[in-house]
Amino acid sequence: MKIFKLDNKGKYNWNMVIILTLIPLIGVFGTAIYVYYNGVVWQEPLMLFVFWFLSGMGITMGYHRLFAHKAYKTNVFVEWLLMIFGSMALENTILKWCSDHRVHHTKAETKEDPYSITEGFWHAHIGWIVKNVPEEHSRVRGVKDLTNKSAIKFQNKYYFPIGIIVGFLIPLAIGFIYGRPIGAFLWAGFLRLAIVHHATFFINSMCHYIGRRTYDFKSTARDSWFVSWFTFGEGYHNYHHKFQWDYRNGVKWFAYDPSKWIIKGLSFFGITYDLKKVNEHVIVQNRVNNIKTQLSEMFNKSGDGIRNYYKNKVEKLHVKSENLFVLWSEMEQKYAEQLSKGKLKNKEIVRNLISERKRYKEQLNSIKHDLQMIMSNVQKKRMHPNLA
């Protein structure tokens, strides 16, 4: 994206500073001025949503879950579609994007993490893109498994033309059809791109500040349902950092994650396959253990009185939960063996599996509730007789 030739030997890459400043300025203020003088026609908000959806899905379904994490597989045609849609977002090539993202996970919150939140909100949001970094930190690495894909080879040669043609010139051409090319160019081009950019950037920044750490208390990543509405399901960041290879980010059925729904939906037609997901008993075990970790840290900071008051209860709950996890895991293994032999076609066996899962989950949810109540009382330095 080398449009300007400025001195970029200092702290900042001024080419990127100018480009990433102009895009939202033109997108927001340019569109607002155009609307003030020319009004709005239905085609323009519709085009904004359609091109936002396509470029957003190109990033979430394509760049992120398919290419970076290999959370599912698909055919070459879909890979090409997702490459084209992702190119519209102008967030760099698949190889560079995936390289940075894989380092972000393997070196999270260290100096090698390209968008580490430890460097501050602004750095994680956009600063890392506009700053000059040493060549050893900016080079593409760890993506050899992607280099032979035809869609990626093609993108490496024509990335910028693809992004401009599909993301700007096609909306402009559509605008000529209904007589408002500038409106289409602003709405589906600049405004759409500004939204896609900063929605993605908020995952790296806001999702490390606002939300819950349900699955990994020691990670700065947080689950934010709010961010998910603008990123097609990518806001459940704490879960994603714990189980990055899962094709789902919003693991609960009601969690807003259209990327998950589309990937799953396409699997019914064989278009996507080998969908990777974490077993339910592993997720439940992780949630319970995460509460235990938080409680342990609270005990270390609390007085002996509080710690000793709840010590026996916590130990009993710990032993009980560990025994339940062993039994649940053994049960899953038993049914997995039956599945491999084709016996799960028997509806009675399937009903038993669902029933046993529900029973284990109810018992563990009860333990989880007790641990959360103890944690709440420890925070308030209160000794509750029913929890001792």
In-domain check, residue 181: yes
Q: Which of 216, 246, 273 is the last residue of a domain?
A: 273
* Whole-number Å distance between alpha carbons of 177 and 183: 12
Q: Are residues 333 and 372 in the same domain?
A: yes
Q: Which of 239, 273, 307 is the last residue of a domain?
A: 273
How many residues belong to the chain? 388
Please check whether residue 277 is in contact with residue 247, taking contact to mean a CB–CB distance below 8 angstroms.
Answer: yes
Q: For each successive 10 residues of the chain (388 residues), what is the average pLDDT?
A: 51 91 97 97 97 97 97 97 97 96 92 91 94 82 95 97 97 97 97 97 94 92 94 95 95 93 97 95 91 86 79 87 92 80 68 88 91 84 68
Q: Are residues 314 and 227 in the same domain?
A: no
Q: Are residues 364 and 221 in the same domain?
A: no
Q: Are residues 43 and 153 in the same domain?
A: yes
In-domain check, residue 3: no
Domain region containing 222? 14-273
Q: Are residues 294 and 259 in the same domain?
A: no
Q: Which of 251, 273, 295 is the last residue of a domain?
A: 273
Return the residue matching tokens 């470029």.
55
Number of domains in the chain: 2
In-domain check, residue 4: no
The pTM (predicted TM-score) of the whole model is: 0.89
Q: Where are the beta strands (DSSP E) in the chain?
A: 73-74, 272-273
Q: What is the pLDDT of residue 4?
A: 43
In-domain check, residue 2: no
* CA neighbor of 299 nearest in space, from 287, 290, 308, 291: 308
